């Protein structure tokens, strides 16, 4: 795999080994004179998870709406699950499932009734609908609350039910618009497991949007950063992290004299006087680590602790968007 940098856009050649579940060229959308999407290209191989990452208002939901035929694009072309968005929108609709940013769950219905309603909308035979509903309730650990109205559900349960409803029609491509926003850490983990399971067990393709860098890091095979209507970077989490410096070793010392001695040894380092710590920029490799420790040993300087900081996706995002104020 190679990363190429062209006019501010990072793309990575995935080859053409696996067929694309979603491909798009030049997708554009404006509302009045506000440009929301300014020419987006995508290629998402079948059976993979793709994360579209961006801040509020970046155009994530708009992209999902276009690719799932809910709204038309102003320009560009896309194929989803083998169907062309413009010429075969019904084909697309039959092959995709969308879990929207705001839950589609009907509060007055029970979990089971919500699922059966979806089965009816998909024209599944009654018995098949019941079978699917029971299966999904079990898979999503909702059997116990199957007969309770959704209005009594927590946010996490509602999200799970929403995803279960999306799966009733056995879609090949699933769009998840911010699947874990507002969930507590434990519910987020549960959702992540369910999403991973979908890809591993059912071989579906997942297109998810998120504002959480750790979510993209956890789930996605490939990640694209959307900012001001353009994809400003694309690649695996590792590739994106490699794009930016920011790795460093952080040493802590018992007293100021040891800190002074160490600071004199590493001229490019940054002091944190209050914490009695020193940050030494550089890659987080064994070799770099050994050099630092050898240098300290050679000068008989003793560090109390050492931590290795590898840049995370937050660093990537902040660097590439230049939005330091977000931090």
Ligand X SMILES: Nc1ncnc2c1ncn2[C@@H]1O[C@H](COP(=O)(O)OP(=O)(O)OP(=O)(O)O)[C@@H](O)[C@H]1O
Stretch that binds Mg ion, among 5-13, 55-63, 74-82, 276-284 (CB under 5 A): 55-63
CB of 220 vs ligand X, minimal distance in Å: 16
Of 3, 11, 23, 101, the one binding ligand X by CB under 6 A: 101
223 binds ligand X (CB under 6 A): no
What's the distance, CA 160 to chain centroid?
Answer: 18
Select the residue interacting with Mg ion from 21, 36, 52, 61 (CB under 5 A): 61
Give CA 197 to chain center in angstroms: 16
CB of 177 to Mg ion, least distance (A): 6
Pick 59 or 171: Cβ nearer ligand X: 59
- The one among 36, 133, 225, 249 contacting ligand X by CB under 6 A: 36
Please name the residues in contact with 115: beta carbons below 8 A apart, sequence gap of 6 or more.
Answer: 129, 132, 133, 136, 137, 161, 164, 165, 168
Nearest approach, Cβ of 210 to ligand X (angstroms)? 9
* 69 contact choice in ligand X, Mg ion, none (CB below 5 to 8 Å, kind-dependent): none
Touching ligand X, residues 52-91 (CB under 6 A): 54, 56-62
Site residue total, ligand X (CB under 6 A): 12
Contacts of 85 (CB under 8 A, 6+ apart): 66, 67, 69, 73, 77, 78, 79, 92
- Joined together, the tokens standing for residue 29 give 């959308």
Decide which of ligand X, Mg ion, none touches 57; Cβ closer than 5 to 8 Å per partner kind.
ligand X
Least spacing, CB of residue 31 vs ligand X, in Å: 3
Site string for Mg ion, 95-114 (x = CB under 5 A): ------x-------------
Pick left, alpha or beta for residue 123 (phi over 0 → left; psi -120 to 50 → alpha; otherwise beta).
Answer: left
- Residue 145 gets which letter from DSSP? G
CB of 59 to ligand X, least distance (A): 4
Q: Sort residue 297 into left (φ over 0), alpha (ψ -120 to 50) or beta.
A: alpha
Cβ burial of 287 (10 Å; 0-12, 13-18, 19+) is: exposed
**Which residue, among 193, 182, 222, has the nearest Cα to 205 in the 3D structure?**
222
Positions in the binding site for Mg ion (CB under 5 A): 60-61, 101
Positions in the binding site for ligand X (CB under 6 A): 31, 36, 54, 56-62, 101, 211
């Amino acid at each position: 795999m190679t990363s190429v940098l062209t006019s501010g856009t990072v793309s990575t050649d995935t080859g053409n080994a696996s067929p694309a579940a979603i491909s798009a060229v030049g997708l554009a959308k404006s509302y009045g004179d506000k440009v929301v999407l300014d020419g987006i290209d995508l290629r998402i191989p079948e059976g993979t998870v793709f994360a579209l990452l961006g801040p509020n208002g970046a155009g994530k939901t708009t992209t999902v709406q276009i690719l799932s035929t809910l709204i038309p694009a102003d320009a560009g072309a896309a194929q989803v699950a083998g169907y062309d968005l413009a010429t075969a929108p019904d084909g697309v609709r039959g092959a995709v499932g969308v879990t929207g940013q705001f839950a589609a769950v009907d509060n007055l219905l029970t979990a089971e009734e919500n699922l059966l309603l979806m089965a009816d909308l998909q024209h599944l035979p009654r018995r098949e609908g019941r079978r699917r509903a029971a299966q999904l309730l079990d898979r999503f650990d909702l059997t116990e609350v199957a007969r309770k109205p959704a209005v009594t559900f927590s946010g996490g349960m509602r999200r799970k039910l929403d995803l279960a409803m999306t799966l009733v029609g056995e879609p090949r491509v699933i769009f998840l618009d911010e699947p874990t926003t507002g969930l507590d850490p434990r519910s987020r983990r549960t959702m992540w497991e369910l999403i991973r399971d979908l890809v591993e067990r059912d071989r579906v393709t997942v297109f998810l949007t998120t504002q959480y860098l750790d979510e993209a890091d956890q789930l996605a095979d490939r990640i694209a950063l959307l900012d001001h209507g353009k994809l400003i970077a694309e690649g695996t989490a590792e590739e994106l992290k490699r794009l930016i410096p920011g790795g460093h070793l952080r040493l802590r010392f018992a007293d100021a004299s040891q800190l002074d001695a160490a600071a004199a040894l590493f001229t490019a380092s940054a002091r944190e006087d209050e914490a009695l710590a020193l940050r030494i920029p550089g890659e987080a490799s064994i070799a770099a680590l050994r050099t630092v420790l050898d240098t300290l040993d050679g000068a008989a300087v003793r560090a109390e602790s050492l931590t290795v900081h590898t840049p995370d996706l937050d660093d990537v995002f902040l660097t590439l968007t230049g939005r330091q104020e977000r931090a």
